[in-house]
Amino acid sequence: MHKIRRLDLNIAYACNLACKGCLSLSDFDRKGIMPFKDVVQSIDTWKDQITPDVLTMFGGEPLLHPKLFDIIDHAKSVWPQVTIRLITNGYLLHRFDPNVWFDFSPFEIQVSVHRLDHENIITKNILSIIKQKSDWSIVKTTDGSDGFHHMYEWQRPGMKIWKGKFGQFVIPYDQKDNKLVPFKSNPAKAHAICGNPNVPVMYKNKLYKCAPIANLLDLPNTKGFEYTPTDIQGNIAKFVNAIGKPENICSMCPESKTHSIDHYQKGEVHVKHLD
C-alpha cells in the first residue's frame, strides 16, 4: 500500500466559470461530469494500492456533480481515515443545505476566490455554513505579504473552511497555430514555479502527475505532449516516488514567470452561471 499525502479526484470537466489559464483546462468550454459508476470504479480499482491522507473533490467545478455526496460516502467507506477536501469556486454553495457538510467530518472546503468584485457573494455563501455552528475559531494562515496568496481559515473539530486567493496563474501550455503545444522548458525550472507541484490526479481510472497533463491529453487541439499515465498494472512505486519532483513532462510548462497571468485583472475570469 502506497501512502499519498494528497490525491485529487477529477469528478467534473465542466465549470460554471472560465478562468484563463485554468490548470484543468476548464476555460476550453469542457462539458460534463465523470459518471458516478466510473468514479466508483476508479476508487475501487486503486483502493488496495494507494491510501491518500487527503482526497480532493476536484474539477472543473465539483459542485456540478449531482452525486457528489455519494462519491464522498463511497470514498470514506473505502478509506475510513481519509480527510475529504472540496475545492470549489463557491458560487453554487447556496444550492446546498448548509448543514449537510458537517456529516462528512473530517472535511475541508477550500473556496477559491476568482473575482475580487464577487468576493462578497462567496463570503456570504461561506458564512451561511459557518452560521450553523457556534464553535468556530478563525485563523489567519498567511499574512498575504506577497500580495497575491492569502487565506483566512475557519476551524472547528473535524472541519476547516478557507478562502484561497491565487492571484497568479501559470499557463501550463504554449500556443502555436491554434494548437496547444509544450513549452519545451527545463523540467526542474518549470517545476520550481509550478502552481501545484505536489499533487497527483486520478483521472479516468489512471494516475497523472498533475491536473494539466491529465486534462490536456483529452483536448482535440493539442500537439506534441508525450506522457503515459500510470494504470493499475503500472509501476505504482515509481509514480509515488516521483510526486513533488520534476519529471520530463514538466517541460510542457513555462520555466519563467513571464507566462503567468494576473488572475485578478479585469476580463480574465468569465462567470457563466452565477447561480
Ligand X SMILES: C[S@@+](CC[C@H](N)C(=O)[O-])C[C@H]1O[C@@H](n2cnc3c(N)ncnc32)[C@H](O)[C@@H]1O
| Residue 185 binding partner per list ligand SF4, ligand X, none, with a CB distance cut-off of 5 to 8 Å that depends on partner kind | none
Give the count of residues interacting with ligand SF4 (CB under 6 A): 13
| Residue 170 binding partner per list ligand X, ligand SF4, none, with a CB distance cut-off of 5 to 8 Å that depends on partner kind | ligand X
80 burial (CB, 10 Å; 0-12 / 13-18 / 19+) is: exposed
Q: Are 124 and 158 in contact (CB under 8 A)?
A: no
61 binds ligand SF4 (CB under 6 A): yes
26 binds ligand SF4 (CB under 6 A): yes
| Residue 58 binding partner per list ligand X, ligand SF4, none, with a CB distance cut-off of 5 to 8 Å that depends on partner kind | ligand X
H helices present in the chain, as ranges = 36-46, 68-78, 119-130, 187-192, 211-216, 236-241
Question: Candidates 46-54, 83-91, 251-259, 265-273 — which segment interacts with ligand X by CB under 6 A?
Answer: 83-91
Closer Cβ to ligand SF4, 26 or 50, answer by number: 26
> Which of helix, strand or coil describes residue 99?
coil
Question: Using the rule CB under 6 A, which residue among 10, 24, 56, 251 binds ligand SF4?
Answer: 24
Closer Cβ to ligand X, 49 or 94, answer by number: 94
Phi, psi (5° rounding) for residue 147? 80, -5
d(CA 95, CA 112): 17
Q: Are 112 and 92 in contact (CB under 8 A)?
A: no
Q: Are 218 and 31 in contact (CB under 8 A)?
A: no
92 binds ligand SF4 (CB under 6 A): no
Closer Cβ to ligand X, 195 or 229, answer by number: 195
255 binds ligand X (CB under 6 A): no
165 binds ligand SF4 (CB under 6 A): no
> Contact residues for ligand X (CB under 6 A)?
15, 21-24, 58-59, 61, 87-89, 112, 164, 166, 169-170, 195
> Contact residues for ligand SF4 (CB under 6 A)?
15, 17-19, 22, 24, 26-27, 59-61, 89, 114
